Amino acid sequence: MPRLRKAKIVATLGPATSDLQTISELFNAGVDVFRLNFSHGSHDDHRRRYEIVREVERVSGRPIAVLADMQGPKLRVGTFASGKVTLTPGARFVLDRNPAVGDAERVCLPHPELFEAVKRGQSLLLDDGKLRLEVLDSDGESIRTRVTHGGVLSDRKGVNVPDAVLPIPALTAKDLIDLEFALSLGADWIALSFVQRPQDMIEARAWVGDRAWLMAKLEKPAALEQLDEIVKVSDAVMVARGDLGVELPPERVPGVQKRIIRACRDHGKPVIVATQMLESMISAPVPTRAEASDVATAIFDGADAVMLSAESASGSFPVPAVSIMDRIIGEAERDPLYRSLIDAHEELPLPTRGDAICAALRNVAHTLGAAATITYTTSGFTSLRAARQRPLAPILSIAPRLATARRLALVWGVHSTVSADIESIDEMVTVARGIAMREGVVREGDQVAIAAGMPFGKAGTTNLLRIAEI
């Protein structure tokens, strides 16, 4: 049976979720996409988890997406002689290229590209924003700063630079190794961390090609200045509120989240809202009411998916976290306000055949009270454009390639299936009826609206709309 909800759930696998039984329980509880976080774990760890996901997919008979999340260019300070120091407000502190261990006056910053990028008056945030330094000057060898917000700074804590576009590639040497490994496994989605500009995605596309779809993680304020351009060259976007919440004032994050979701809806690109959604469930069996509201807000805003990070990777209650997220989504989507909000932001079709057909598909299904909209898709394009219209009826996507079906498991409202290529309109209708019945999305006597492209099997040719009765 298909999921009854439209929005999808992404769950991160980790030490707490590495065996067949637990991953099976996560899937049965509602997970649509499993995330492999390459910031942690070995390649062997990720391979074992990937193989288990594919076993769950084989048993369930339902395409499951795997998202490989690259670590990206995370900036970190070096080490200290005593393991940590205390920085006091008003004190001077230097970050330099000297590899020697640090003290209360200086520490190594092993990222030479940063020394040319920062300017006087800009801020450096350390340890997820717990400490703040004001840049006094930089000469290419050292960055002299004044401590504005002090505290304890320990070995290898992160550095954020909210005021600058850093001249660093979005794919590091480590990322390129991880990327090739993830693609060799068969990952369906590749997430690129700390995207700052469209060129980051274009360069990554040159590495990935058509072996997977590319997702931009937006966690740098600089990315917001070219938001539409980044969305256009991405296959999907993640609102990564962890680092984004460090580099932006907390009060700005909700508005930025809505703006990113809006841009993705406009361009018909899937969007995930991530980080700290059910954070308390790392150690508690139930979420806070504020967390439940946070998940529901993302759903009301029209997000394609919501994501669990540490809650499912290392928390004590991974399966309950998925279960409650599933229930929150379902409750939000049943609320009359949800549909009115979705319809209030109805996307006007772009002047293309594909958009015209998918807009008509939505309208026809609504007028007839169709039980399902059915999309035949080779590349995934037709199903993506149908999802952009946010139809009331579920989208049954039929693809001839398993890789396409897996990728579409992330997309709002899409129940993804696989079937062999068709050769005629009559065969299209017959196959659509059979799969719709098999998957439990229709009953005898129901009507369905079908979109496809002719000639069949050719990507990007959406030009056909057909009504059929079961």
8 Å CB contact between 274 and 215: no
Q: What span, in angstroms and rounded, lies between the C-alpha atoms of 428 and 12?
A: 37
Q: Which residues have C-beta within 8 Å of that of residue 196, sequence separation ≥ 6?
A: 165, 166, 170, 220, 222, 223
Side chain identity at residue 387, one-letter code: A
Q: Would you give the distance in Å from CA 97 to the centre of its chain?
A: 35
For helices 289-300 and 253-267, what crossing angle results, to 10°?
30
Bridge partners of residue 10, in order along the sequence: 33, 307
Catalytic residue numbers, as ranges: 35, 76, 217, 275
User: Which SS3 state, helix, strand or coil, does residue 46 take?
Assistant: helix
Q: What DSSP letter does each residue of 224-290 carry, written as one string?
A: HTTHHHHHHT-SEEEEEHHHHHHHS-GGGHHHHHHHHHHHHHHHT--EEEESSTTGGGGTSSS--HH
**CA-wise closest residue to 123 among 147, 102, 87:** 147
How far, in Å, CA of 83 to CA of 96, rounded?
A: 18
* Count of positions (residues) in the chain: 470
Contact in structure between 411 and 304 (CB atoms under 8 Å): yes
For residue 227, CA distances in Å to 31, 190, 230, 272, 464 come to: 28, 19, 5, 15, 33
Apex 460 CA angle, 457 and 463, nearest 5: 85
Are 17 and 281 in contact, with CB atoms under 8 Å apart? no
The torsion defined by the Cα of 248, 251, 253 and 256, in degrees rounded to 10, comes to -100
Determine contact, residues 411/8, Cβ cutoff 8 Å. Answer: yes
> b vs e for 101-136, b when ≥16 Cβ sit within 10 Å of the residue's Cβ?
ebebebbbbebeebbebbeeebbbbbbebebbbebe
d(CA 78, CA 114): 14
